Chains A and B, each alone.
Chain A
Amino acid sequence: EVQLLESGGGLVQPGGSLRLSCAASGFTFSSYAMSWVRQAPGKGLEWVSAISDSGGNTYDADSVKGRFTISRDNSKNTLYLQMSSLRAEDTAVYYCAKRSQYSNNWYTDYWGQGTLVTVSS
């Protein structure tokens, strides 16, 4: 059974930093691309970052480029999101997500339960 367990969320002041972790199990972590998707309170889904299976390629939304860094440790089956220069508009539930491919098109087949990040003074 695929499991994605996020941790590291919490309350942080504007301008502060936070690192999210996602412990993966139930599949061969090193064989799959992963991503982070967030959802502000009462709002829709917003893609944040994605990373290839090896970690050699990363992709970021314009809204977080230069502030957030996605990474992974395949030896620990763990995905990370390092967030810095946090703003109030970064307040959201952050979901760790497993990506799969079908005919060269990607989709998200599993999601973690999410971790809440609140940016406020």
Chain B
Amino acid sequence: QSVLTQPPSASGTPGQRVTISCSGSSSNIGSNTVNWYQQFPGTAPKLLIYSNNQRPSGVPDRFSGSKSGTSASLAISGLQSEDEADYYCATWDDTLFGGGTKLTVL
């Protein structure tokens, strides 16, 4: 069980806005930035958000990140079927990962 807590699952319908939370403590999220990764089954993770809210080039602006205190969130707006994947938060310079959230698009 990870120190960073994510809901095991989340779901939404196409076009909807979905948020995935990542809860930590003052010693991890509270004092470090958060990164987010997307992983499809059988493939390597892909960087989605870095430094709380920075989007790498090529990542659609439907994806956004935020951090407040000891928690962080990933928001996906205009949900699409191809967004169905596992999502992981990470902090402490990517030495600490959340347990992951499986996003289902209904």
Contacts and interface: CB of A to CB of B under 8 A. Distances in A.
Contact of A107 (B47, B96, B97, B99): B47
Nearest to B99: A44
A47 to B, nearest CB: 4
A102 B97 contact: no
Interface residues of A, number: 23
A102 B44 contact: no
Nearest to A111: B44
A111 B56 CA distance: 14
A103 interface: yes
The dominant DSSP class at the B interface is loop
Interface string B1-34: 0100000000000000000000000000000110
Contacts of B94: 35, 37, 47, 99, 106-108
Contact of A45 (B33, B50, B56, B97): B97
Contacts of B44: 95, 111-114
A102 B54 contact: yes
A100 B64 CA distance: 20
B90 interface: yes
Nearest to A61: B95
B85 to A, nearest CB: 13
B35 interface: yes
A107 B98 contact: no
Contact of A44 (B2, B46, B95): B2
A46 B95 CA distance: 8
B88 interface: yes
Given A95-B45, A114-B44, A44 B88 contact: yes
A24 to B, nearest CB: 14
12 contacts: A35-B94, A37-B45, A45-B45, A47-B97, A59-B95, A99-B93, A99-B94, A102-B50, A102-B51, A105-B50, A107-B50, A108-B94
Interface of B: 2, 32-33, 35, 37, 43-47, 50-51, 54, 56, 88, 90, 93-100
